[in-house]
Chains A and B, each alone.
With several copies, the nearest count.
Chain A
Amino acid sequence: MGTMVLSESDLIALVITLKLAGITTLILLLLGTPIAWWMARTRWRFKFMLEAVIALPLVLPPTVLGFYLLVALGPHGPLGGLMDWLGVQRLAFTFTGLVIGSVFYSMPFVIQPLQNAFTAIGNRPLEVAATLGASPLDRFFTVAVPLARSGFLTATVLGFAHTVGEFGVVLMIGGNIPGETQVLSIAIYDHVEALEYGSAHWLSGGLLVLSFLMLMSVYLLNRRFSVVQS
């Protein structure tokens, strides 16, 4: 198990991982926020079905989900076919594909906390903002979003961390191409599988420390700006 210095490819994997998690989280927030907002506000009768659908990807093991995504993205799959028809590059084994897979898989971790936070706000602050001349979009950003801060924090942390640790989906549709789609989780996994425990420990340890520092700063920052409930 001896000590081993991290290889260059491990470092590249780290960079790719952070990039993937960052982009995925961003997209998740951009996509999840309006959905969560709509779900928190709508009185649509069949909302409960949509809620169930959103949580659904979770129940499939990630590798299997990745498998189905792979099939869907392949030339015979619906998405792959569509891509071909549109003349767009196919997504399997590309970074973009990774992002799509991760977004799909981590969606519930972002939507659910946001939806809860938006629901908890209630109508009153939005009504007040309206009487003060704020348009719907304006009051969404200046009232709903700040009041839902803890929801955003949770969504971001869960979304980011889950993407960093994600592995099955990413492995399946990423193809583990070093420098492109090899992320840290796969790199660590590879080390463990190859009995290179030393490298695995180093990588895992580094990842944990890094994540801990990141998470800690996020929570620390959060405390500073937190809305104290009375």
Chain B
Amino acid sequence: ADKIRVAVASNFTGTIRKIAESFEKSTGHKVILIFGSTGKHYAQIKHGAPFDAFFAADARRPKLLEKEGVALPGSRFTYAIGKVILWSPQKNYVDIEGKTLEQKEFRYLSLANPKLAPYGKAAQEILQGRGLWKGLRGRMVRGENIGQTFQFVKSGNAELGFIAYSQVKHPGESVEGSYWKIPQSLYSPIEQQAVLLRDNDTARSFLSFVKSDESLKIIRGFGYGYYGIE
């Protein structure tokens, strides 16, 4: 049995664990998962990190790696599409159309740093679309990544925030609090892409496994979208 190392964006932690588990069960190979921010992983990969595959939180870094000749050409694919929601742990706080943004006297709105995280960029687009981006400046708290963004809201320090649907959606459970599921049309799609970094069979077969139906079900169960599937 082989051992591969796969670097994965933190927001995908729960999902990939499930997938890796069933991959290990069916093949007997071992998958070592390394979680972290996509920016850090990118820097590390460029400086020789011993990873076999890379599951980024965006499409930009995998593309860069491909262009720079670090990733294997042609191995890049979108493994999940993130969905953004506006969420509050309080019941009936966020209405289903997001009017809350204009109406409620909240103190802090949490979102991911648009510069670093695609979810943040999406949030920016949504707010800009409604003409709220400038007006909310001093009331926006920015997480370094989507995990932190969630913690700001979850701990109650920010009343609401733009988070990933996958963070509150657990397979077979209903979502706590109140949220507005934002139509895909309001922001550019959050493609999370993966690339192969080292050419070996186990890694290749793991990537294929991620594309399998079995994995797809898991990915959707955690609240991610997939190409052409809402």
Contacts and interface: CB of A to CB of B under 8 A. Distances in A.
A160 to B, nearest CB: 24
Given A70-B157, A74-B155, A77-B155, A176 B47 contact: no
A90 B107 CA distance: 10
A75 interface: yes
A67 to B, nearest CB: 6
Given A74-B156, A74-B157, A193-B145, A178 B33 contact: yes
B37 A175 contact: no
A180 B3 CA distance: 14
Contact of B35 (A74, A80, A179, A194): A194
Contacts of B134: none
B116 interface: yes
B144 A189 contact: yes
A89 to B, nearest CB: 9
Interface in A173-205: 175-180, 182, 186, 189-190, 192-196
B127 to A, nearest CB: 15
B28 interface: no
Interface string A93-135: 1000000000000000000000000000000000000000000
Contact of A190 (B51, B115, B148): B115
A144 interface: no
Interface size class of A (residues with CB under 8 A): 20 to 34
Interface size class of B (residues with CB under 8 A): 35 or more
A189 B64 CA distance: 20
A182 B143 CA distance: 11
B151 interface: yes
B147 A192 contact: yes
Interface in B123-157: 138, 140-145, 147-148, 150-152, 154-157
B54 to A, nearest CB: 12
Interface stretch (B38-46, B76-84, B182-190, B202-210): B38-46
A175 B44 contact: yes
Interface string B191-208: 000000000000000000
Interface string A57-80: 000000100010011011111001
A194 to B, nearest CB: 4
Contacts of A189: 144
Interface of B: 5, 10, 13-14, 32-37, 39-40, 42-44, 46-51, 61, 64, 107-108, 110, 113, 115-116, 138, 140-145, 147-148, 150-152, 154-158, 167
Given A73-B157, A92-B49, A176-B36, 18 more contacts: A74-B46, A76-B156, A90-B48, A92-B48, A172-B40, A172-B148, A175-B51, A176-B142, A177-B34, A180-B138, A190-B13, A190-B35, A193-B13, A194-B10, A194-B13, A195-B39, A195-B147, A195-B167
Interface of A: 63, 67, 70-71, 73-77, 80, 90, 92-93, 171-172, 175-180, 182, 186, 189-190, 192-196
